[in-house]
Chain A
Amino acid sequence: MKAIVCVKQVPDTSGVVAVKADGTMDRAAMATITNHDDLAAVEAALELKDQTDCKVIVVSMGPPPAEGMLRELLAMGVDETYLVSAREFGGSDTYATSQIIAAAVNKIGVDADDVVFCGRQAIDGDTAQVGPQIAEKLGLPQVTYAAEITDNGDSLTVKRLLEDGHMMIKVNKPCLITCVKELNDPRYMHVARIQDCYEMPLTIFDYEALKNEPLIDPDTIGLLGSPTNVYKSFSPPPKGEAVMLEGADRATVDKLTGILADKHLI
């Protein structure tokens, strides 16, 4: 049994957004972090490893500096990492990206008792499309928005976090789960593993490595092959200053409802 986790390195949202001439984000020029939901997915896989001693493999697509993130995940307890990185893959939208990552996961191999974990969505694109698309392309059943996962051996019971409640779903393995950050608190790196993580397995999947995978179609990957194109990336202008009202009395409430009514919000 193994857990394969798809992880994305994203811009640190507290930093400034750098944009390339083609309108896409210049990831190499920005401070980066591991996407929060993806870290929850890594932790879910590591918890499965704690219980079952399964192998945890992380796959990430991005520029070469993403290696730093993968080293940190190895220091947390991940066993193997794969970095999918090639010029041909650059500028891919979610359709193209999920095709490439599905090809990478397929090359690693999904066995009958494996689980593929993804984060719900990345804080840069916020689409929540890549995980479900990977599941479709690999022909795996999928459960999204996992806020609790129980391993039953040949199946998982997943509690989905929905806007208006929870949904309990039992899904047979192999399957794909997308995780929300409320699922867990990701563990810290272990000092002993920090000593080892730069010697641990990190395999680069470039275009050559994946081009013969059946899921890869050269016409539908990369910026040119993507059905959607980013027109413009920018930091939104800050909104006006907030108005703070203090007081727990009727007059303050009336003032608040008055402001909201003036703005046609109520």
Chain B
Amino acid sequence: MNFQLTREQALTKKMVEKFCEEVVAPTADDMDVAHEFPVDIVKQMGELGMMGIMWPKEYGGAGGDYVQYCEVIERLTAAHAAVGTVVAAHTSLCSGPIYYYGTEEQKQEWLVPLAKGERLGAFGLTEADAGSDSGATQTTAVDMGDHWLINGSKIFITNAGYADTFCITAMTDKKKGTRGGISFFIIDKDDPGFSTGAEEDKLGIRCSSTRELIFEDCKIPKDRLIGQVGQGFKIAMGTLEKARIGVAAQGVGVAQGAFEITKEYMGQRKQFGKTINKFQYPAFTMAELYTRIEAARLLVMRAADLADKGLPCGTQSAMAKFYASEIAMDMATKGVQFHGGYGFINDYSIQRYFRDAKIMEIYEGTSEIQKLIVSGAILR
């Protein structure tokens, strides 16, 4: 057992901390108010190798690992949660299935530009009637001989308004249902019959783009199928299993960011003649919260380490995801509380963390779904 970061992991941490301090954090509040997608930040992250950290260099990636990916996601999210969301959806959800399940040709054509940050990626699984029950997909893909014809829609798709490449699931054989009836496809933003809906007006992560994907007789070439026909559900679940580590890192990031600004506020705010960090109740509460943040971080790093070693990480990533998102919500809630009335005023950043925290318990598998996964694994 070794809890030391490697030299490369430590240097990545140093680099992303500086990048966040100078580039991401200073713009976060203003961009949040303006609902501005971080176009320039995404471009810069692509140039710095942050849009394909754990993919090999031959596929345009940085040749790093999941631990480095989680360090980057945590820090970006601590500075501005929506930026972490953009990178995570792009990397784990869109590039991930192409790397793990795509052919060499698909990797060269689709993964390389994603990993280099030249194109942005999105992932479409959720539908109006297929949320936690993601197997209830209504979107269909029909084999027309020389092409696939896709009809239907996907909702709540992260990065949708700015993405160039989309990985989606569609039903290819309704009779077979979830196991064997769903297939996995790559969509280009310019494919005929493909469009995106209006931006969703969200409670949090307001700088990320969330839209509907609409397929109206969308015609795509045959070589857009990832894996075999009927493997789509398996690919989607395999993708989510690893992607969850990134969402868990986002949870730690929100918690860490909320902790840092609350700590700073508590060191300045005076009541009854002393700063409020000198009172035992808030001090002990912060001690408990920080211990849980550190515990969540260790769960994330454990899951990332398993993924790096190519070992099963589904249960670990599920535990990390629900635990980290819970502490994100709890830390942000206490953060607002310790800010008192100022915490309720939009001039203070803590309210942004409070709004951003909630989605961590919902997207990429709700906390309830994570507990379903964990209980299924430990009680069988």
Contact = CB atoms under 8 A, between A and B. Distances in A.
A190 interface: yes
A71 B68 CA distance: 17
**Which of A72, A189, A191, A198 counts the most B-chain CB atoms under 10 A from its CB?**
A191
A191 B19 contact: no
Interface string A187-208: 0111111110110000000000
Contacts of A71: 7, 11
A75 B64 CA distance: 13
A75 B62 contact: no
**Which of A188, A189, A193 counts the most B-chain CB atoms under 10 A from its CB?**
A188
Interface stretch (B46-54, B134-142, B176-184): B46-54
A195 B63 contact: yes
B242 to A, nearest CB: 19
A33 B8 CA distance: 18
B7 A191 contact: no
B49 A192 contact: yes
B274 interface: no
A195 B64 contact: yes
A58 to B, nearest CB: 16
Given A191-B53, A192-B49, A198 B8 contact: yes
A182 B15 CA distance: 21
A198 B7 contact: yes
A192 B68 CA distance: 11
A189 B62 contact: no
Contacts of B7: 71, 198
Contacts of B11: 71-72, 75, 189, 194, 197
Interface residues of B, number: 20
Given A71-B11, A197-B11, A198-B7, A191 B57 contact: no
Nearest to B63: A195
B195 interface: no
Nearest to A197: B11
B62 to A, nearest CB: 4
A191 B12 contact: yes
A47 to B, nearest CB: 14
Contacts of A195: 8, 57, 62-64
Interface in A171-219: 188-195, 197-198
A188 B15 contact: yes
B57 A194 contact: no
Nearest to B7: A198
B18 interface: yes
A191 B18 contact: no
Contacts of B19: 188
A190 B48 contact: yes
B22 to A, nearest CB: 9
A197 B6 CA distance: 13
Contacts of A75: 11, 15
A190 B8 contact: no
A94 B122 CA distance: 56
Interface string B1-14: 00000011001101
Interface string B27-53: 000000000000000000001111001
A188 B48 contact: yes
Contacts of B64: 191-192, 194-195
A254 B18 CA distance: 44
Interface string A102-125: 000000000000000000000000
A240 B248 CA distance: 48
Nearest to B60: A192
Nearest to A189: B15
B98 to A, nearest CB: 19
B18 to A, nearest CB: 7
Contacts of A192: 49, 57, 61-64
B8 A194 contact: yes
Nearest to B12: A194
Interface string A58-77: 00000000000001100100
15 contacts: A71-B7, A71-B11, A72-B11, A75-B11, A75-B15, A188-B18, A188-B19, A191-B49, A191-B53, A191-B72, A192-B63, A194-B8, A194-B15, A194-B64, A198-B7
Interface of A: 71-72, 75, 188-195, 197-198
Given A191-B49, A195-B63, 4 more contacts: A189-B48, A190-B62, A194-B12, A198-B7
Query: Which 3 pairs, one residue from A and one from B, show the smallest C-beta to C-beta distance?
Result: A191-B49, A191-B62, A192-B62
